[in-house]
């Protein structure tokens, strides 16, 4: 009996913006009070590398990757628009892939694959395009007469996915490879939050997102609800270093577990170099994610440098 | 139905009472409570956040721990005017006056005196340019309300009198202050040192502003925004800002 199994290794490349901003995407918050009502355009380039990188927001890839990112921000009064283009390269020259441990014959029949057949690196990701539309709004005051400004943001990201799918035959000679062209799209809503507890400010971000993959053999849809607490940074004044801790917790659908199935603390070390205009970031971001009852951790470490290419205040 | 009518009447009555409690006057009475009130000599009022010393209103003694002022043409409305007290070794938080409709005076009562040393701070900006300081005063007495007090100096020579960093944040603005949506500016609390003058160049100022944002002291979510840093450097370059010397002078 000839059994043709669609062995699928779909590839959902790195950093499709889920609710979590990509590790390589520097903050672009711009307090509208600081622009004085004048339009501001800033174009920024980011280059860097990361080990044990996660992709697609919260999906483990465990890849070492290089990264090139171009961010363009236009701010005017209380609104901000961003267009970002990103490209990632994995250590073997191809894109990072997401491991699919099973093959799906149809909606009801899933066959788990042996360990050695679970991975492929035949995917070539295209550049990812991200659009943000954000608006800033005042709320209350942090204990004095100055209102706090928070930001809400809508994100749309799209990334083509070219996948090589191997169809296994009874002998190696009958195994064929099929090229598929799909895409992944993410839609996310995110808003800053601010509370006063016992006289202290508690800042964070609440985000919901939906990431949908189509045109591959591993089409899927994932929704995430996350809260990121943004703790005050620690400043090492003499070294001009800032250390920022954050903690993200959330629930993600499609993980065979309900409730909180994501815990992602992060520490970012930031060092600006005023002479060159470049900023160095070193980020450690361990991510615990549950699949069923199994929690897995990946220890992302990223080093990147960003620099403004163009700053125009109109 | 009857309850609604009673509620409505009650609301109207309260509103009418509140409306009556508001007066416009030029006469202000000040009572200072606390053990040390008798030690206060020269006492001034800062009205509606106008903090240049030339704008302070000197109070006349009117009995033990009591003072008064006649503002002349400068009348105030008790419902919206904000006051704070300045004296030799004390400052108060801000509060609104209670209206005395009988003798048409605005009555203020401050508690003397909040803890924490007062500092007179001098800032010299090079090259000379228009600079504003803003004091974000937190309420620390029962009657207190948050308020902003500010003063603008066109020659870059700034004098900040009686700063009490335990009860207020003092910010320096190198750019025009947005009156509708004030921004914090450069926080002096963490910079001012008693050990002598501190000089900040362009990069230092941008760095300090970055630290404020990262530590959640800029009235925004803590952020390491590279764009905000680039914008600060751009604006400082446009101003041709070179340095600022900050010093405690008393």
A254 Cα to chain B: minimum distance (Å): 31
Return all residues near B104 (Cβ < 8 A) that are at least 6 apart.
Answer: B23, B25, B27
Cross-chain residue pair A232–B203, CB shorter than 8 Å: no
B40 Cα to chain A: minimum distance (Å): 27
Q: How do residues A266-288 score in pLDDT, each as one tens digit? A: 999 999 998 888 999 999 999 88
Cross-chain residue pair A232–B214, CB shorter than 8 Å: yes
CA distance A41 to A18: 25
- Which residue in B164, B227, B236 has the most chain A C-beta atoms within 10 A of its own C-beta, making it the best mutation to test that interface? B227
B65 Cα to chain A: minimum distance (Å): 28
SS (H, E, C) chain A: CCCCEEECCCCCCCCCCCCCCCCCCCCCCCCHHHHCCCCEEEEEEEEEEEEEEEECCCEEEEEEEEEEEEEEEEEECCEEEEEEEEEEEECCCCCCCCCCCEEECCCCCEEECCHHHCCCCCCEECCEEEEEEEEEEEEEECCCCCEEEEEEEEEEEEEEEEEEEEEECCCHHHCEEEEEEEEEEEEEEEEEEEEEECCEEEEEEEEEEEEEEECCCCCEEEEEEEEEEECCCEEECCCCEEEEEEEEEEEECCCCCCCCCEEEEEEEEEEEECCCCEEEEEEEEEEEEEECCEEEEEEEEEEEEEEEEEEEEC
Q: Can you identify the CATH homologous superfamily of domain A5-313? A: monomeric porin ompg (2.40.160.40)
Cross-chain residue pair B224–A194, CB shorter than 8 Å: no
Q: How do residues B11-59 score in pLDDT, each as one tens digit? A: 555 555 544 578 888 888 888 888 788 888 888 999 888 888 888 889 8
User: DSSP secondary-structure letter at B36?
Assistant: G
- Whether A135 has its CB under 8 Å from any CB of chain B: the answer is no
C-alpha angle B182-B188-B191 in degrees, rounded to nearest 5: 150
* Res A3 pLDDT > 50: no
Cα–Cα distances in Å, from A12 out to A36, A112, A253, A281?
Answer: 42, 19, 16, 26
Which member of B137, B214, B228 has the closest CB to residue A244? B214
Question: For the purposes of burial, counting CB atoms within 10 Å of the CB of A94, is it exposed (0-12), middle (13-18) or buried (19 or more)?
Answer: middle
C-alpha angle B239-B242-B245 in degrees, rounded to nearest 5: 120
- Whether A4 has its CB under 8 Å from any CB of chain B: the answer is no
Question: For the purposes of burial, counting CB atoms within 10 Å of the CB of B244, is it exposed (0-12), middle (13-18) or buried (19 or more)?
Answer: buried
Which member of A233, A272, A275 has the closest CB to residue B229? A272
- pLDDT attached to residue A101: 54
Tokens at A204, concatenated: 């964070």
Closest-approach residue (CA) in chain A for B216: A232
> Which single residue is written with the structure tokens 């943000």?
A132
State the ipTM, two decimals. 0.80
B198-201 vs B243-248, strand pairing mode: antiparallel
* Domains of chain B (ranges, CATH numbers): 24-111 (2.60.40), 119-248 (no CATH)
Cross-chain residue pair A36–B226, CB shorter than 8 Å: no
- pLDDT attached to residue B80: 84
Contacts B222 to A, Cβ<8 Å: 203, 230-233, 244
Query: Can you give the pTM of this predicted structure?
Result: 0.80
Confidence tier at A108 by pLDDT (50, 70, 90): low
Closest-approach residue (CA) in chain B for A33: B183
Domain extents in chain A: 5-313
Q: How do residues B84-135 score in pLDDT, each as one tens digit? A: 888 877 888 889 888 888 888 888 888 877 667 888 888 999 999 999 998 8
- A240 backbone φψ class: left, alpha, beta (φ>0; ψ -120 to 50): left
């Amino acid at each position: 009996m000839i059994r043709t199994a669609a062995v699928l290794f779909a590839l959902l490349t790195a950093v499709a913006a889920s609710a979590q901003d990509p590790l390589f995407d520097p903050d672009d918050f711009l307090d509208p009070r600081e622009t004085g009502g004048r339009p501001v355009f800033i174009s920024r380039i980011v280059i860097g590398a990361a080990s044990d990188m996660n992709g697609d927001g919260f999906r483990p890839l465990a890849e070492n990757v290089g990264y090139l990112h171009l961010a363009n921000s236009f701010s005017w009064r209380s609104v901000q628009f961003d267009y970002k283009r990103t490209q990632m390269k994995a250590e073997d020259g191809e894109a990072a892939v997401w491991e699919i441990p099973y093959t799906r014959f149809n909606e009801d029949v899933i066959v788990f694959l042996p360990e050695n057949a679970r991975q492929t690196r035949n995917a070539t990701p295209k550049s990812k395009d991200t659009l943000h539309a954000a608006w800033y709004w005042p709320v209350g005051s942090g204990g004095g007469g100055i209102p706090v400004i928070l930001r809400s943001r809508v994100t749309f990201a799209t990334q083509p996915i070219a996948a090589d799918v191997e169809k296994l035959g009874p002998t190696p000679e009958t195994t064929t490879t099929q090229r598929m062209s799909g895409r992944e799209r993410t839609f996310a809503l995110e808003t800053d939050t601010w509370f006063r507890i016992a006289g202290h400010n508690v800042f964070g971000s609440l985000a919901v997102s939906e990431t949908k993959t189509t045109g591959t053999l591993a089409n899927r849809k994932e929704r995430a609800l996350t809260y990121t607490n943004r703790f005050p940074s620690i400043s090492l004044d003499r070294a001009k270093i800032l250390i920022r801790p954050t903690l993200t917790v959330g629930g993600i659908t499609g993980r065979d577990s309900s409730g909180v199935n994501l815990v992602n603390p992060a520490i970012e070390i930031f060092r600006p170099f005023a002479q060159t205009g470049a900023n160095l970031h070193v980020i450690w971001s361990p991510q615990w994610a549950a699949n069923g009852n199994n929690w897995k951790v990946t220890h992302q470490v990223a080093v990147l440098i960003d620099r403004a290419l163009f700053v125009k205040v109109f | 139905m009857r309850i609604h009518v009673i509620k409505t009447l009650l609301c109207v009555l309260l509103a009418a009472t509140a409306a009556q409690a508001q007066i416009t006057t030029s006469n202000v009475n000040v009572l200072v409570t606390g053990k040390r009130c008798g030690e206060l000599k020269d006492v001034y009022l800062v009205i509606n956040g106008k903090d240049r010393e030339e704008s302070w209103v000197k109070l006349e003694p009117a009995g033990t721990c009591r003072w008064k002022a006649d503002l002349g043409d400068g009348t105030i409305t008790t419902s919206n005017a904000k006051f704070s007290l300045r004296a030799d070794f004390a400052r108060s938080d801000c509060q609104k006056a209670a209206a005395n409709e009988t003798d048409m005076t605005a009555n203020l009562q401050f508690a003397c005196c909040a803890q924490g040393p007062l500092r007179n701070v001098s800032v010299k900006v090079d090259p000379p340019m228009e600079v504003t300081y803003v004091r974000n005063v937190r309420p620390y007495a029962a009657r207190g309300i948050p308020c902003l007090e500010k003063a603008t100096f066109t020659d870059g020579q700034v004098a900040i009198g009686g700063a009490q960093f335990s009860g207020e944040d003092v910010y320096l603005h190198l750019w025009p202050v947005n009156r509708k949506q004030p921004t914090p500016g450069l926080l002096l609390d963490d910079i001012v040192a008693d050990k002598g003058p501190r000089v900040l160049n362009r990069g230092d100022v941008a760095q300090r502003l970055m630290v404020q944002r990262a530590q959640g002291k800029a009235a925004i979510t803590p952020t390491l925004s590279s764009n905000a840093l680039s914008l600060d450097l751009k604006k400082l370059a446009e101003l041709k800002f070179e340095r600022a010397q900050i010093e405690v002078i008393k």
